[in-house]
Amino acid sequence: MISHMTSSTRRLSTAGERREVVLRTAIGTFAARGYYGTTTSEVAKAAGISQAYVYRLFPDKESLFVAVIEHCSTRMRAAFADAAATATSTDPAAVLDALGEAYARLIADRDLLLVLMQATCAASEPAIRDAIRACYAREVEYVRAVSGASDTEIQHFFARGFLCNSLTAMGVDDLDTPWARTLMTGIRHF
């Protein structure tokens, strides 16, 4: 009996690792077709697993989508934390500027951006509404804690972020028209 694995032995992934793969894959699938237009079989196929295994990891499509929202929220908070740690000063404006740049870089991943927008569009579903509310509640309170900004400054920060979301989703940065230039003024995209 061999009691150790050789380097050529295939290592099986854990359920936790598979769950992460499904979440990362589901982001792209849900981004493309939204909550209502995406099936769990499409997510399973994209992840290279069976639909039955998706259901072993997530009880239903709604649970999967809520987990995707939470995954995106975690990525957003991690980007904000990294940015806050490297801000050029502790002045609220400097911290918000660093967070804004981090957010602009984060939504360059259009799938993450589109999933958050799709979640907002599917917020008529109570569990999804609760998840997207919780996502933004965490982000607002995190931004408040690390920036020391006023409520008005935080509101402007998020309003600018939502404008950024819409402009990025519409591909407005590719347009050279007066209205696009007006809305893009001061907006950073990567």
**Reported pTM:** 0.86
Domain positions in the chain are: 61-184
Q: How far apart are CA 189 and CA 57, in angstroms?
A: 35
Q: How far apart are CA 52 and CA 60, in angstroms?
A: 11
CATH (residue range 61-184): 1.10.357
| Mean pLDDT score, 23-41 | 95
CB of 112 closer than 8 Å to CB of 119: no
Identify the band that residue 7 occupies on the pLDDT scale cut at 50, 70 and 90: very low
Q: Read off the pLDDT of residues 132-183 as tens digits, 9 standing for 90 and up.
A: 999 999 999 999 999 999 999 999 999 999 999 999 999 898 899 999 999 9
* Res. 50: pLDDT tops 60: yes
C-alpha pair distances (Å), 144 with each of 66, 73, 85, 141, 150: 24, 16, 14, 5, 8
CA angle (49 as vertex; 48, 52 as ends), nearest 5: 155
Give the pLDDT score at 74.
95
Q: Read off the pLDDT of residues 120-145 as tens digits, 9 standing for 90 and up.
A: 999 999 999 999 999 999 999 999 99
Q: How far apart are CA 24 and CA 29, in angstroms?
A: 9
CB of 14 closer than 8 Å to CB of 99: no
* Res. 5: pLDDT tops 80: no
Q: Read off the pLDDT of residues 98-109 as tens digits, 9 standing for 90 and up.
A: 999 999 999 988
% of the chain residues with pLDDT over 90: 81
Q: How far apart are CA 38 and CA 26, in angstroms?
A: 9
3-state secondary structure the chain: CCCCCCCCCCCCCCHHHHHHHHHHHHHHHHHHHHHHHCCHHHHHHHHCCCHHHHHHHCCCHHHHHHHHHHHHHHHHHHHHHHHHHCCCCCCHHHHHHHHHHHHHHHCCCHHHHHHHHHHHHCCCCHHHHHHHHHHHHHHHHHHHHHHCCCHHHHHHHHHHHHHHHHHHHHCHHHCCCHHHHHHHCCCCCC
Give the pLDDT score at 13.
66
